[in-house]
Chain A
Amino acid sequence: MPGGGDPPGGGVNRIVVVGACAAGLSAAEALRREKFGGKIVLVGEEIDAPYDRPPLSKQILASQWEAERLALRPAEQIAALELDLRLGVRATGLDLASRTVLLGDSSVEYDGLIVATGVRPRRLPGSGAHVLRTLADALALRERLKPGRRLAVVGAGFLGAESASVARQLGCEVTLLEPAPVPLAQAVGVPVGEVLAQVHRDQGVCVRTGVTVTSTSPTGVQLGDGEFVTADEVLVAVGSQPNTGWLEGSGLELDDGLVCDEFSAAAPGVYGAGDVARWHNPLFGVTMRVEHRTNAAEQGMAAARNLLRGSDARPFAPVPYFWSDQYGLKIQAHGYLRGHDAVEIVDGDLESRRFMAAYRTGDRLTGVLSLGMPPKAIRPWRQAVAAGTAWSVSETLTTR
């Protein structure tokens, strides 16, 4: 085991990574960068080589890019990892005792396991609605987005908002339906959510808040109050569910994700990474599950390294980061904004749509978000979040 001149991951000869997108690939690459010379089995449910998802609701939907640009790595770089790559293969179960992952009719044994099976979109009752998670989803939707067509987007989170933005710019008539009084209020707070909703309204999107959609049909959506909103296409973007069904009954703890400790470990030799993992982030002192692109890469790396390090494992304590592009505006946020107690504009102003917002949770600065600001301006704030800075101290960073 760790120490001396042992090769990394002593005693570990075969590592199985389930999930072949950003987190799974990042884990596989990190294993090789750490000089793990054993076998790596990378299992992916989708048939496509590992590809990137954030552009699906941006450049792909807008037909600015073709699918080939999504590849996370060129084929020769994937080949250089010398993986046992099993694409189009779905994990169906896990036997912890015999260290075996079930793959339908076959199975694979492991010495170390990294679970990176991601999430799948929540759906609504009814039929005829699009969701947006996979490349196939994005291509199917973009095929239908033509000038003058009516698109109803259910859910004004970042995915729904970005899709509405693209569709509007393509000339579609867009209705954005959101159950909360203010879109994204939970994620970014009421003032910022209101600004983002207004941006959509200014662009001609019909933003309807406080409405519940009970079902979808090929001709529109049914609202909870009995109204029917007619649309040519419906996109349901009401959040995701972790892909943990294959782990049920395995003995691993599942609670809106695979429950992991601060090292991203779910059990001895078993680690979680990316959208599927709910882990204890010691930097914020809370358990979180983060569906952001950067977290997938970072947690994939951390899981791989901790798997090899054994007792020298290091806590995974990142500052989460996300960005969103809507109508040419860039939103960037660092930290853990969810559940914040207060939000304050610390630079710029909401009216001009150029601002930086700081988030307080308890007596700490826990997050910062910028809209339309030079991205470098956010860096000192990100560092302050990473340092666990007290809110009262962070006020000295304020430039206004």
Chain B
Amino acid sequence: MSLKVEFDEPKCVAAGQCVMVAPDLFDQRDEDGVAIVLDDSPSPDQYDEAREAAAVCPAAAIRLVEG
């Protein structure tokens, strides 16, 4: 199994919730706070935080595709 992070940037509201729960996978742009995906192919030990980030995103902008 693999997990791929898809990010719908125009939906992002710059809340930074993803960065708080998954700092290894997400960051925020300095100027406007829009999220940046640091790693779109998390390792299995990061799956939980990836799922948590997708769940807390208040804009439903993070989508995980399981392969």
Question: Given the known A-B contacts A374-B33, A375-B32, A375-B33, are A323 and B13 also in contact in the complex, defined by CB atoms under 8 Å?
Answer: yes
Binding site for B on A (CB under 8 A): 26, 29-30, 33, 52, 54, 69, 71-74, 77, 293-294, 297-298, 301, 321, 323, 325, 330, 332, 374-376, 379
Q: Considering the complex of A and B, which 5 residue pairs feature the smallest CB-CB distances, nearest first?
A: A375-B33, A293-B58, A294-B58, A375-B14, A72-B60
Kindly state whether residue B37 has any CB partner on chain A within 8 Å: no
B interface size (C-beta, 8 A): 20
The residue on A at minimum CB distance from B60 is A72
Q: Which residues of B contact A74 (CB under 8 A)?
A: 63
> 8 A-B Cβ contacts within 8 A?
A33-B48, A52-B60, A54-B13, A297-B58, A301-B55, A330-B14, A375-B32, A376-B30
- B interface with A by C-beta (< 8 Å): 11, 13-17, 28, 30-33, 48, 51, 55-60, 63
**Interchain CB contact under 8 A, A29 and B13:** no
Given contacts A72-B60, A375-B14, contact A33 B55 (CB under 8 A): yes
Q: How far is the CB of A328 from chain B (nearest CB, A)?
A: 11
SS class, residues of chain A in contact with chain B: helix
Using Cβ atoms and an 8 Å threshold, which residues of chain B touch A294? 15, 17, 56, 58
Asked if A33 contacts B51 (CB within 8 A), the reply is: yes
| Residues of B contacting A379 in the complex (Cβ-Cβ under 8 angstroms) | 16
The reply to whether A29 and B59 contact each other, CB–CB distance below 8 Å, is no
Given A26-B55, A72-B60: A374 touches B32 (CB 8 Å cut-off) = yes
| A301 CA / B57 CA spacing, docked (Å) | 12
Given A323-B15, A376-B33, A379-B16, A29 and B60 contact (CB-CB distance below 8 Å): no
Q: Tell me the smallest distance from the CB of B32 to a CB of chain A, in Å.
A: 7
Enumerate chain B residues within 8 angstroms of A33, measured Cβ to Cβ: 48, 51, 55
Given A332-B15, A375-B28, A379-B16, A30-B56 contact (CB < 8 Å): no
